[in-house]
Chain A
């Protein structure tokens, strides 16, 4: 009896399985949602593949669409739909947005993997945020492959974006960043109101230590050296300069020598030509830099753990008085000061971090690594996929995006709702009590329940004012930011897009080059490798093909500049 039952179940089970197999076999190998190519360049409105006319929804109807992007995932708020500004946006535009996407950050491998699977299997959301450098062939490739809608090619669509078009027409930098080689534009990204915001990070030194050794803020590399030596003399256990794996402190000294790490950048002596840090001045600048760092290391000015520490260890060194010079982000000014005071209450009011102007080195200019020519968020942005067209929601989505670029929308996304999250006093906006005095969360966390005053990869215009009020709330951080602004943007590069063939070759060469240089870099500074190895290193890099890589990149750069 039992056996007969099992037999029956088994037969049913197997039939079900093969049915499933059959179905999957049918659709395997093709994008499930139809492959209507809507990317033809003739500009005519393409036909939708769904039966019945799913035309523009009337503006009374609530349109629902999906937006795939990382969830906000902050201390005070996890899902986008809980944010005040999103709820308000939905009300004003009569839409309902279903946010899909993981909790992790957009640059994380998890997110990239999740999106790549989406794209490669044909399951597109309506709107997608992605950095198209991570798609083989880039954004142009995605349009050609029939995934992304090329909005500017369609007159009706393009007509619905007056604010966005205005932005492009008024600012060449933005226009170049968001258009493809053929001049069309399909991406909607975050745009800066002023490039000042890119100078949010830079060097800082412990102000109280400077006072102790009786020196003023260093402005050149040589002066920095003196300061570090003086710090070391305070106590032999001190390693004045500290860093972490990924080397932000050491790396960001490179511009003083006219160098930039790992990526091609405009040659300071010849700005139309691109160079690489191993190639600039025939490798002499590179050699000088390493030699100087090696000297500093030998004199005990650099923390021996500098290349292998993690963020927490570096924080610990800066807050326990082991180090006094490093590269800071705005909230570290407050966080570290508070941590020092918590452990040493007698330093309250005395300890502070002093932000420095970019240092001048052998290159003679205040070069820095902040991307001061960056008006738009490079190659990462939001696109509308063909699925939106099939579901007939494109028009409303465009309306939403256009709204976000309007002055009203800018206020909404950067500040929230007037009277609730912000108030206007004498023409100046300030955050309301609700935001600044949140009982559970600090201001920096609470504000995200209501608005996004910082970057967030949304189609929006940044509000410099909102950003300042949030990230440089600490007066030290504000002062530092103003110092960082004094840098020279000569080494800045726009975001270049390579074709698939170009990027395959370029990546193959550069992964090898970067691996080799990165490896030698630390070992040369710490003295594990002798400095005589540098010529050999440069020769090897040449053999791997750095000149060819530069050539490829130069070609793409020229294409970009001629747009």
Chain B
């Protein structure tokens, strides 16, 4: 018999147990064994003892019993009672009688455990308050093997097969601590109760986290694909309009860019790069199973899963190529009704102003432009008389605010669970007259209709109202200047009003409206209503076989009204211009699928799923305009009051998608995992010869840590290798693209309009899917029991049969035809790290860091290179972009700027190429700068993007610090082009004070009046930035104070967003995009500036 010593306890173990003990932490095990409450075995009831003891110590008697029987004792070696001498004789005595005899007159008692263990421990521990209860997960399923410990003691218990436990507590005030691998540790004060039921929440960090995948869920450890997960806690750490803003920087492989930044403004999300040129590269959003569904506010969302590799996305077939975002909304849990109220109020300030010429400097500059052009006129005879003039940025910017309130109730009885919430989000923009409001409500019901039948609904409604100002306005002229670009370029020599009270207009160049007038007079209101609902039936046909069917409808109604009054140029010319338009969009989705789970011989786990879906979409749109009103007061609500009807438009488009899909998961001993998926999709949008496509994928994962040879590496807690390959598609093109089409329009005959039709497109019966093949290799590593987890992924995506508007010879009468031609690739590397830096009862600090490298390249194009222009219309000038094989999509294209000619201040562009005798382009300077000397001058794709989130918890305080960044991307700053081009058409940046003059020749700003708006490296800037996106400090009011008020939890916090940004970018904000589209990235013109916010917030739970 071997002895095993550990600390104060000593125990004789059977060899088999010893082996287990080696790999488990002894103290934990001992604690468990000490108090496990199990019935004595049959053996302990039947064993009889015949002993003859003469003056032996208790210790020796126990050894004798061990020798004679299968009982093993477990006791503290230092108990003084063990040395007490005994003398007695027994015949045919049970173990209980024997033990009573042995331990008579001592301070210790005993208990017989399973496996014939007998524990000897002080009597005080054996005779305490008994507490029992049941431990379940949030779905009410019992948790087996949960460790329950009386805090501050070594008393513990383990839950049984029904999730129940019984424990002896030291006293009524003690606290029970529940812990279970994969779940958040929970503490409950006994508070005099003898029955304590506990619900344990899944630990999101844990490997046992359940991940939502398409048409099902999977344990994270069983995942074969690349899936990023963002939890509700991250989504609501600061107020954001939608999940897109909230996920920025939160996960690897996802790039989020604001399109403008105005209240209610959109974003562009790219998952592992853009896969298309002419079709959309937006991911597919699936909300509670509703593909293409609208997404509720972040507060109502339980989790977001971002499916990245083909293994994960192929189940969405023709819509999976750009990644899939699965959104799961919150649902109720059985238990007391919980009422939560979350609110926040933010103060927003404009993040940055541009430094412009003041009125005197502006007047001098304009005079100089005029003089340099040879004109004798002097527009501003006495520049200094204007002083500093008007700061138009100060006039259009103001302090904004953001309010966000959410009230929710959730709970349920045994067969019924609900979650319902109301949400209000209101933003008052930092530009005058711009605001956004959103009201929404969500109700989710889940009902157990029978033993095998579950039904439920998901209902979401929303209204949003947006009052927009003209920002990012692409075309200037006298009638269409944006508020922001207008504030930058308009003359500082004038004020808001003329002497007669009318609004001033620009005194230089086109007499456009001043930006205050544009912001306050132009009315542009959008009201968007949405109702989205779905119902599901979940029927367990037999053990392991479940049928699920959902039917969902999403209906959107949008109304936009705008009015340009006579106080603005555009309205003055036509007597006021009113327009109102509406659209109605209906999407219907039905999904039916069967899933089957089977475990064979405990080592083969099989999960099969097969289903079918049908989705249809119908969009209606109509708009009407009229001019010439007797008053501005009608706005757009009396179109018939106008005298000059304009064109009306209406349009209908419809599409259908029919699909069959299936997936097979096979798991061998949790070590080897295989996944196969496939989906057949048939789409109405494609050519009649290519309606159907098949999208398969396969994946393999190996939990290497489960292998025996790694068993002894205790620091390594996880090691998993993943590999997947698959094909997904993209069909996100408009409707009717495969059909020939006559467009109808109007011709003017004698000032009247008559019907006209023209051929507008040719048929392409072969129009098919874009197909993206993706390979992903990943590694998940964990150390020190999950204190450090790392996920690494390498991917390669090749998109072929690009949906591309192939240019046709124009003499054919058509400019292009949508074809499947050309290819491009995205490849990259992603690293996600999460660490638990400090964890003790008072202080915890966890960090999440992610970094993603991605490279985009055009591999082949049908017609070689395409050079095109993506600059705002009024910044007249040359081409700005190129699409060419071997370069990233959306590369900037232009001249290399070499500063100014010292002699005359004209801009110099570098001569890099010429032509040989055969007129072939050669990269040799030829002394002439012409279009041959253009080259790629910038890449709008970042080298890498990163996010770094830190959460600290100290007693009742919590602190979140979140950095996010984009590095290595180029921006084409059209705003600065207009503010440094020195052509005398508007105000300029203060940098233009350093322009070339005969006395200031050492500069790179050309002479006043130079023509310098050519696309060149001069306007290309490094768009890298890293910013402190959020920092917030919260305080949880102690429970003892709250209890009196009947409040379960109350947290107050203060936060700051975008407080600090490191960037070399000279514009308002590097995180913007003028002109959305895969071929026009990284452009900035007149964008709404980013704001800095201070947020005060409150979370209450009743």
Q: Do A and B make up one complex? A: no
Which residues of chain B have a CB within 8 Å of any CB of chain A?
none
Which residues of chain A have a CB within 8 Å of any CB of chain B?
none
